[in-house]
Each structure stands twice: as structure tokens, then as C-alpha cells.
Structure 1
């Protein structure tokens, strides 16, 4: 039978307790949300939703084509200009998703004969970029600049170091300044995914590279998503103008993909302008994460200290994590559930995301539910 192996894999997932399923959410959910990536609470902000609606009214429902044909509007270039200025980069290029931005950056900057040094904790989009690139990939120990140094020392030729700025599983930050220093010793570029840093880290939320003094560096390229702190959809690559020009001409996920929908570009631009006007939102998101961690650990839960807005709580097993998340949901709290194969270390977790708009009472309620339902 065609695709018969699918049934075998489905049964194996069922036995292992690793079945995933879609759960459509209503427009007005009664759940307290600690599962989404809406770090600044902007996804439903009136200025952001109006930015999306206004862009759709002016430009239509879709971009109508690839960026090099009809998919680049004046709105796209406006967003790119303001993103680059905000983050301290020379130029920016907007993509239809953060995933597409990561594939573009890694594949276009790692040609045949190059070495890609990839952190073991990297996001799947960076991993897939490494797999698709023509260079050779060497995976090194998590957040370990000396491991990066050893990998670069054995290679003679072009090289790039690839890592998240804030890792999505435990919320820990990469030592970007040290990684950049090691890279410079060997003439290697640094490509970082700042999906969880933009809007949370740096002066007024300008991102992790800005926070670590790397904004505008000629050998640093950052990718961002517009779907987390900016409450919209899409992604972007930030870096030197010559790198951005190279991506326009060489990145397949830019050349052959339909441009980002105008509504998403309009929402992201509105959110960015709101963040510039209210920079305290970034500090608030970090403060909420710290408070959440303190309250969880005070209850004896194994929570990882956050470097940004992600707080993870260790679970005893994959089945235990799924059950814990389900019981939280039944008690009115939405949390993320990470388990193999999504976690590189095989340790299952609840993943909680702090939001700048969470109140003290909501934090207390969340901790109470997590404590009461723990396995």
C-alpha cells in the first residue's frame, strides 16, 4: 500500500506518547496565556491590528508575487528601513517567515568549501539551513566558545558560526560577544537568530546583538521574526548592505517565495513604532520572566533562570509533561509542552513565556496552577 510506512510511524508515536495534534483556539479564549510568543502583548493591540487592516485596505490581501516581481511594496521597504535603524544594522530584508529568513541566511552565506559551526541547541530552522547549505556542518557543544574555537582551528577556508541568541527551549542566552571574538580570530562570520531577543533584550528591545555591542558589525548577521515581540508574521535578515544585496541575488527562500502579506508588514511596522514609543515594554517582559522564575523556584519547581522572556520547568517524562500541560489547560492556564524530539537533550519541559502585560495576580494564578497540577 502506498505510504504504508506512515501507519507504522503513527503507531510508534502513539506508543511513545509523542502524538501531536492541532487545537484550534477561539478568538476570545478564557485561558490565561503563557504559551504564546506574544512577549510584549502587542498581537491584539489596537494600533497593531489597525496597522494590519489599513495595509490590507491599501495593498490588498496578498503580496501578489515574489519580492523580485510584484511582491515588494513601499510598505515592505519602509519596514526594512525602520527595522535596520532600530536594531543598529546597515540594512534589512523582510521574508515571509522567520524560518525562511534563517534558511536564506545560512544557505546563502555558507557556499561549497565553507565550514558551518552550529550550536547543539540551535532552532530547527537553523539546523535545516545547515542541512541545505553546500558547506560542511560541524555541531559543537551548547554555548561553548572554546568548542567553536577548536572547530575553526581545524578548517582552512571560509567559515560561519551559527547560533540562536536566546535558545527557545530553556531561554538561556548565547555568549555572542565571545563567539564573535573567536570568529574574528579565524576570519569567520557570525549568523545569529534573534527571534527571542528582539523586543526583549537590548536598549528598548533592540535585540541581543545590540545588547552585546555587536549591532552594525561588518561580520555579524542577525535574523529576526516579526511573529513574537512584534505580534505579527514574517521574518527579516539584518546586516551589512553587501550581505543583504547578496541575499537578494542568492537566497532561494527570498527569490522564489511570495512576499510577506501587506497586512503582516503593516502590523509589524505599527508594533515597531509602538515599541520605539514605549521602550519600557522590553524591561517589563524581562522583569515578569524573573518574577515568574522566582515564584516557581520558591515552590520547589525546577525552573531554569531566564535570560530573556522564556522560562522552562523540567518535567519527569514526556508523558508527564503532556499530562501536566493538559491539566494546566483544564485549570485555565495555557502553557507550552516541549518533549523529544523537539528538545535536543531529551529532557521534557513545560515552556512558559512571560508577557509584558501580565499582572501580579495573573502570575500568582499561573504559579498556583502549575504547583497544584505537577506530576
Structure 2
């Protein structure tokens, strides 16, 4: 683990003066190191200051919140949106509001931000997502109808799996059902215009759909959002959970709304990088990957020290606890060049040849 005094972009300068190619983190679009976004943020800071720590229930109402939330709702394709200061807060605010809405059912690997209790037992299951979904539908069909809240990620960003959500069409209409999806790793990357998982979700009219997401990953905004029907969003807006929390720094929302052309250009570069790397490493049988997602999971943890010795830092962390085995991945961003991608692919081939 390196301790540094700066945020890396496509490269990282270590304290010993060595420069590494940086292929880790979650800043898929490279927003945190995008000069154009920095200029928009400076413009926002000039207008709104460095922070706004008051409740949004206060007498001063900044229009940028309504503007950003209207944009997010239209972009994702849900009736309404509400922003908060982190993706974790967005998830917790939503699940707390749904605490009495029914029995909670968690998909494998659901992020802790969407846990109602600290350690919901079903999250630790080794069952595959598809098997879990089939089993869930079977149980719902045969049990006595009762309200249920189904919680899942939009994809698995760790072992890199895109989930098939066709099963959501078959959710029962004979009871109150809520489907809550954490799209933190999808928003800004997958879907039409980067709008996330929403276009892949079809549910019966009686099912309430709620999407929560961090804005800090692809979008580079320290905040989170809940998207749902107008009634649910208004319920959240009236809650003490929302009223007692500080909002997103308004300067960032100003930059976010104005930065859509920058995001689109970055997404084009990101998809090109992911395609290049996927094609270059397809025959190695080293990585598990998913179309349109710039992360490549390696089951062989020895890849990380091999890459580090050759000047490339990839993601390798013990997850979810320090006692768990490492999750090893190559994470590409829009900041990487064709030459960068080719270099990492060449090293991957060299690693495979030595095993």
C-alpha cells in the first residue's frame, strides 16, 4: 500500500520518485482529473462558495438542487430524484424509508449501503445471482402473499458480472413489491448515454422501482441520489433523515449539469479502452469481464505484485474484510491512452506465459 500526497490520474508518482501507471479506483470517466470539469467546478465555487452546510428545509433554497434533480430524473428515466451528500446516505435513506414496506430480500453481494441491518445473513450466500433470482421467484409464487422489498446491485463490480434482469418482469402483482437497485457502478458508464441500469429494468405496474446511486464514481461528484416515483421522493424529502443532513456541495452539482458533453466524450474513450483491452487479452483466459464495463477481474492474485514490479498499479484488496482473500482487477479509465492499454495487455500476456 502506497501513501501519497496527491490523487492519481492515469499515473501515480510514488514517494520514492517512481512513476506507476494507475489502473485502480472507481473514477471510470476520469472526472476527478478532467481539466474541463475542474474549470466548471471553479465556476460553481465562484457562484456558490466552497460548501453549503445548512438543511435544505431552511429558508434559503438554491435552484441548482432542483435543476440537478430534474436532470437526473430525466436522464435516468424515473419520475423524480433527490440528491444527498453521499451514495451511502442515499442507500440508507431509501432502505430506512422502506423498513416497514415488507420483508427484505437481498441479492448476493448487495452493497452495505443498501442493508437495512448491519449483517443481513442472505448477503453472504455463495449462490449465483441467476440462481438467487430463480429461487426468489419460485418462493414468491408459492408463499402466502405478503409485502416484500427486493434489494440488489445493478452489477457485480468486483468479480465483474453484468446481471440479467429479465426476471423482474415476472414479479408478482398480488402484493406490494418494491425493487431497490444500487447502480453506483453503472450510472455514468452503462446504458444509453450512460444513464445506468434503468433501461434494462421492466416491472409490472404495481411494483415500485427505486434506484440509488453514488455520484462519486463515474461522475466525480461527492454525493448520492435516490430516483423513484414522485410520491416516494416526496416522502424522503419530508423525512428527518433528509432534513437533518447536509446536502451535496452545490458547486459540484453546477459542474455536473454543465459537464454532460465532457462525460460523453470520456465515455467514448472509456469504451474504446475497454474494447481494446478485452480484445487484446481475450485469448489469455486470465480475466473475467463484461461487455461495456471497464473492469477486468483476475482470479490469480499474483497478477498484482507482478504488475507492480513492472510499473503498473492494479486493484487488489481483501474484501469485504481484511481476512477475506484479495479481489484482483485491472480497472481502466477514460484517462488511459491506447499505449497505456497496450502496455497492460502486454504485461498480462507476459504474466500468463510465466504461469
TM-score (norm 1): 0.78
Say whether residues 1:208 and 2:197 are aligned partners. yes
Aligned residue in 2 for 1:339: 318
Aligned residue-pair number: 338
Mapping of residues 64-83 of structure 1, within 5 Å: 64-69=53-58, 73-83=62-72
Mapping of residues 216-295 of structure 1, within 5 Å: 219-250=208-239, 252=241, 254-272=242-260, 274-275=262-263, 278=264, 281-282=266-267, 284-295=269-280
Alignment check: 8 A CA contact 1:56 1:263 kept? yes
Distance 1:205 1:213, change over 3 A: farther
Distance 1:22 1:334, change over 3 A: closer
Provide the alpha-carbon RMSD of the alignment: 3.2
Instruction: Please list every run of 5 or more consecutive structure 1 residues that lacks an aligned counterpart in the other structure.
Output: 1-20
Distance 1:188 1:343, change over 3 A: farther
Distance 1:351 1:206, change over 3 A: same
Instruction: Please list every run of 5 or more consecutive structure 2 residues that lacks an aligned counterpart in the other structure.
Output: 13-18
Distance across 1 between alignment mates of 2:319 and 2:28: 25
Q: Deviations over 1:11-51 (max 9, x none)?
A: xxxxxxxxxx6733525634323212222233222331122
Distance 1:64 1:250, change over 3 A: closer
Say whether residues 1:299 and 2:277 are aligned partners. no
Mapping of residues 1-375 of structure 1, within 5 Å: 23-27=3-7, 29=12, 30-69=19-58, 73-111=62-100, 114-126=102-114, 129-131=115-117, 139=123, 141-144=127-130, 145-153=133-141, 154=143, 156-182=145-171, 184=173, 186-212=175-201, 219-250=208-239, 252=241, 254-272=242-260, 274-275=262-263, 278=264, 281-282=266-267, 284-306=269-291, 308-316=293-301, 320=302, 324-342=303-321, 348-372=326-350
Aligned residue in 1 for 2:16: none
Where 2:44 maps in the other structure, the secondary structure is helix
Where 1:232 maps in the other structure, the secondary structure is coil
Distance 1:371 1:107, change over 3 A: farther
Q: Deviations over 1:271-304 (max 9, x none)?
A: 33543xx3x6445534432432333342342434
Distance 1:176 1:146, change over 3 A: same
Distance across 1 between alignment mates of 2:232 and 2:219: 24
Distance across 1 between alignment mates of 2:174 and 2:158: 30
TM-score (norm 2): 0.82
